[in-house]
Amino acid sequence: MSKKLMAEFLGTYWLVFGGCGSAVLSAAFPEVGIGLLGVALAFGLTLLTMAFAIGHISGCHLNPAVSLGLAVAKRFSFSELLPYWGAQVLGGIAGAGTLLVIASGKAGFSTAAGFAANGFDAHSPGGYSLHACLVAEIVLTAFFLFVICGATDRRAAAGFAPIAIGLCLTLIHLIGIPVTNLSVNPARSTGPALFVGGWAIEQLWLFWVAPLIGGAIGGAVYTVVGASDRE
């Protein structure tokens, strides 16, 4: 278990540092900024690379909603949920903390610009309402879990799961960044929010509640749709 938790810590650290780092450091960099597409790809690549690196150790969840969804789908033990969640949240905080140290090295930097935190209403990148953000986070997390369950099904093509899952995360970022900066991951949301404080902490509840609901739905739906006739 200790190796699994360390893997989850390091993997979530990489997800937050790499994904949020691309948004904070590179998205709008003068003349060569990577933009929304680049940030979406960065999140997908962090997950894809870690899935190959630690998938065989911990399953590479890196996300409390994924752990819950897999438990609902009977792919993961409910008894291991809280330790996994703890490792994931700590990894997310550490990744955001490292990013803050680097970003603060530029004159004039301030977390008031958002620091890749997730938000709704006035803090939604596109000005989307609480209702819209809630629905988006639930639906996108549910489909993310559905893809994870399908790609890792024993009947699926072996060895390709990290690619499908990484590309899925890229896709849902392309959809959701304008809405909430996209979370679908409470650990990813918690790290930046703790350093932004204020409004980001006040709105953090949505980025726990919605992904967990969506993850549970996605896991439950796959147990029905993906059930083998032999089961």
Please state the domain extents for the chain.
Answer: 2-225
pTM of the full structure: 0.93
pLDDT in tens, 124-164: 999 999 999 999 999 999 999 999 999 999 888 888 999 99
Q: 229: pLDDT confidence band, cut at 50, 70 and 90?
A: low
pLDDT in tens, 80-132: 999 999 999 999 999 999 999 999 998 888 898 889 999 999 999 999 999 99
> Maximum distance among all alpha carbons in the chain?
63
Any residues with CB less than 8 A from the CB of 137 and at least 6 apart, and which?
176, 180, 183, 184, 206, 207, 210, 211, 214
> What is the rounded distance in angstroms from the CA atom of residue 61 to the CA atom of residue 25?
25
Please report the pLDDT score of residue 189 as a whole number: 97
Q: Which two tokens stand for residue 16?
A: 């937050």
At residue 5's C-alpha, the angle toward residues 151 and 212, to 5°, is 55
Q: Is the pLDDT of residue 231 over 80?
A: no
> Are 117 and 96 within 8 A, CB to CB?
no
pLDDT in tens, 38-70: 999 999 999 999 999 999 999 999 999 999 999
> What is the rounded distance in angstroms from the CA atom of residue 128 to the CA atom of residue 126?
6
| Whether domain 2-225 has CATH 3.30.56.10 | no
Task: Name the nearest CA neighbour of 130 among 199, 218, 217.
Answer: 199
Task: Name the nearest CA neighbour of 115 among 97, 89, 142.
Answer: 97
Q: Is the pLDDT of residue 214 over 80?
A: yes
Strands (E), 78-151: none
> Are 114 and 183 within 8 A, CB to CB?
no
> What is the rounded distance in angstroms from the CA atom of residue 148 to the CA atom of residue 83?
21
Other beta carbons within 10 angstroms of residue 217's beta carbon come to: 19
